[in-house]
Amino acid sequence: MDEHFYFKQLTSGRDFAVDNGFAHQMVNHSYCIGDTETRQALLVDPAYDVHSILSVLQNDGMDLVGVILTHYHADHAGGNIAGHEIAGAAQLLELVDVPIHVQQDEVEYLGHAAGLTPDQLKPHQSGSTVKAGKFEIDLIHTPGHTPGSQCLLVEEHLLSGDTLFLHGCGRTDLPGGDPTELYYSLTQRLADVPDTAILFPGHHYSADFSSSMEYTRHNNSVFRPRSAEEWLAAFAS
């Protein structure tokens, strides 16, 4: 890996929002991606405690140049879950003025759920890239968990949000969820991600914090069905 690649996986209730019982229960991951040469960095899914997450970058001497949201759900983007108010990108924008990179199909949902207006968002199509210094982050549109869910691929790190976990995948019964789309996201839209890439999901739901895509493709039951029909019979929720 390039010596200047900067990458941190943070866990809610442990690395930030440590006194927040709901954040601890949700075990969300936020990520820092950057270039130690240019000191430019991005945050992925900063939520619950945006001050603490921002201070991780500041303590490392990194400058925030943007935010990427994997999808609109409040535990990733900010908003409300069952009465729990969660800070997110909207609160971060009160501290810093940076672009919020999202998939085009998520813009409307982010407005309703996370209080982010279209002028605060930088919409992308699948295949576009965002730069952290010299490192290009590929944005892969992976609908299914939500219409505009996206996975990020940079330096053989796959950040999958709630599209794919080490075991299992995101649910499809929330607004905008579509199990057929999720099947095609997992089996086709992510098919070009190499086996050597390391999967970094949006929640810490397994004992390990990450695993190779080779291991995941062999051991995660969502890759076992051989057809869309089989997959939907097993996983459509």
Quick one: 105 or 162, whose CB is closer to Fe ion?
162
- Of 102-110, 136-144, 155-163, 219-227, the window that binds Fe ion (rule: CB under 5 A) is 155-163
* Smallest separation (angstroms) from Fe ion to the CB of 203: 8
Sheet architecture: strand order including 129-132: 129-132, 135-141, 150-154, 157-159, 198-200, 211-212
Alpha-carbon gap, residue 110 to 200, rounded angstroms: 23
Question: Hey, which residues between 126 and 145 contact Fe ion (CB under 5 A)?
Answer: none
Give the residue, chosen from 45, 106, 162, 181, that forms a contact with Fe ion under the rule CB under 5 A.
162
Q: Does 106 bind Fe ion (CB under 5 A)?
A: no
What are the phi and psi torsion angles at 231 (to 5°)?
A: -65, -45
Q: How far is CA 70 from CA 1, 197, 232, in A?
A: 24, 18, 23
Alpha carbon 16 to its chain centroid, in Å, reads 17
* Smallest separation (angstroms) from Fe ion to the CB of 146: 7
Question: Hey, which residues between 61 and 90 contact Fe ion (CB under 5 A)?
Answer: 73
* Smallest separation (angstroms) from Fe ion to the CB of 109: 11
Quick one: 6 or 48, whose CB is closer to Fe ion?
48
* String of contacts with Fe ion for each residue 7-36, x by CB under 5 A: ------------------------------
Half-sphere exposure of 134 (CA within 13 A, CB side): 7
Quick one: 29 or 73, whose CB is closer to Fe ion?
73
* Smallest separation (angstroms) from Fe ion to the CB of 72: 8
Burial class (CB in 10 A: 0-12, 13-18, 19+), 158: buried
What are the phi and psi torsion angles at 188 (to 5°)?
A: -120, -50
Footprint of Fe ion on this chain (CB under 5 A)? 73, 162
